[in-house]
Amino acid sequence: MKSFRYSNALERLPEQFFAKLVNKVVEVKKHHDDVINLGQGNPDQPTPKAIVERMQVATENPVYHKYPPFKGFPFLKDAVKEYYQKQFDVELDAETEIAILAGTKTGLVEISQCLLNEGDVALVPDPGYPDYWSGLALVGAKMHPMPLIEERDFHPNLEDIPHEIKEQAKLMFLNYPNNPTGAVATKELFNDVISFANTYETCIVHDFAYGAIGYDGQKPLSFMQMPGAKEIGIEMLTMSKTYNMAGWRIGFAVGNRSVIQALELIQDHYYCSLFGGMQEAAAYALTSDQSEVENLVKVYEKRRQVLVEAAHQIGWKAQAPKGSFFAWFPVPKGYTSESFANILLEKARVVVAPGIGFGEHGEGYVRIGLLCDEEQLEEAMQRIGEMNLFS
């Protein structure tokens, strides 16, 4: 069969690092049935029952059997507006400052296509979510990493960015609570970013995927809460993590009107919005009682405590994450993040995500998900402890 050559855009796409990890896990699972997967980012809890039931009823509505409005049903935008008002005391215009997305993964790729041309410069966190790179690769833009190091609480040092890069940067990606480090943003960081954006005319894209997941009584900051944020950027929030709706593929972007308009324009050519029943269920989730979300955060917080305590018992000294459902643990001396992940999989049958998969400055760490029950977390740490890697 003839093999057709890919476009230059597809050839530029970065290698899917974690596809290689998945293949390794599959091979181990062929011979062992006791693998504990701490490397995934897929919520392990089901979507709350009331949301599912709302969807089930909505599927019978013949209105939703037709094409939905290209920009989404107004009731979902109204629900997003209400959510931001209640949760963050942020006022949004439902019609012009909110875009419905087929999951924020899609939006994070689309935004580069909306605002960048070939050769343009974007600033990305390192370590960071790899799909930022994918959108940049598709348009042929240049990526300048912003190192996130532990000594700075995994916040970028904007002063360290070379002046010529600052002058060229059209886009900056941020993500707090952060994947993979579990760090959270501060008002000082966001104010510095807004000042930077105004000075260099850079659009800020804040990936707020874990916006509901903060610990020790601290609620994560929305970028939109900061004065001036709406003027220079947008925020993307997904239903995936907050409501365990990862498979539903529903998210939204809020903020700067011109950027929202650009996202809706490109989606007019890609999609015809989302199935109306899903939109109704999402609107219900956003505007109903949030006790299920509060309970979910308590589950993750308890798992965080169990993981960190069990790790300390085996001599693995690591900091507890301040947000997200990930922990960012240092690898022991003598190992790279990938070699350490490999030996844990082969010897302890425990899966962790190597930090190098998130960028050059992810080297020296592994990402551990809080996405299995407490007993499995303890069992994983016990198996790793039996390898005597931290003595």
What does the alpha-carbon distance between residue 198 and residue 290 come to, in Å, rounded to a whole number? Answer: 35
Asked if 210 and 151 count as a contact pair (C-beta separation under 8 A), the reply is no
What does the alpha-carbon distance between residue 332 and residue 271 come to, in Å, rounded to a whole number? Answer: 47
pLDDT on residue 391: 72
pLDDT on residue 18: 72
Domains and CATH numbers, the chain: 8-46+292-385 (3.90.1150.10), 49-287 (3.40.640.10)
DSSP conformation letters of 97-156: SEEEES-HHHHHHHHHHHH--TT-EEEEEES--THHHHHHHHHT-EEEEEE--GGGTT--
> Taking CA 271 as the corner, what is the angle to CA 236 and CA 108, rounded to the nearest 5 degrees?
25
pLDDT on residue 32: 76
> 95-139, pLDDT tens digit by residue?
999 999 999 999 999 999 999 999 999 999 999 999 999 999 999
Asked if 349 and 32 count as a contact pair (C-beta separation under 8 A), the reply is yes
Phi, psi of 322 (to 5 degrees): -90, -15
Which residues in the chain come in under a pLDDT of 70? none
pLDDT on residue 20: 75
Give the pair of three-digit tokens for residue 366. Answer: 């592994």
**Inter-CA distances, 41 with 18, 133, 244, 289, 380, Å:** 11, 18, 11, 26, 17
pLDDT on residue 16: 76
Q: Which amino acid is at 168?
A: Q
Q: Where are the beta strands (DSSP E) in 232-318?
A: 233-238, 251-255
> 204-249, pLDDT tens digit by residue?
999 999 999 999 999 999 999 999 999 999 999 999 999 999 999 9
What does the alpha-carbon distance between residue 175 and residue 177 come to, in Å, rounded to a whole number? Answer: 6
What does the alpha-carbon distance between residue 51 and residue 45 come to, in Å, rounded to a whole number? Answer: 13
**Inter-CA distances, 94 with 24, 250, 265, Å:** 46, 17, 16
Question: In whole angstroms, what separates CA 75 from the centre of its chain?
Answer: 25
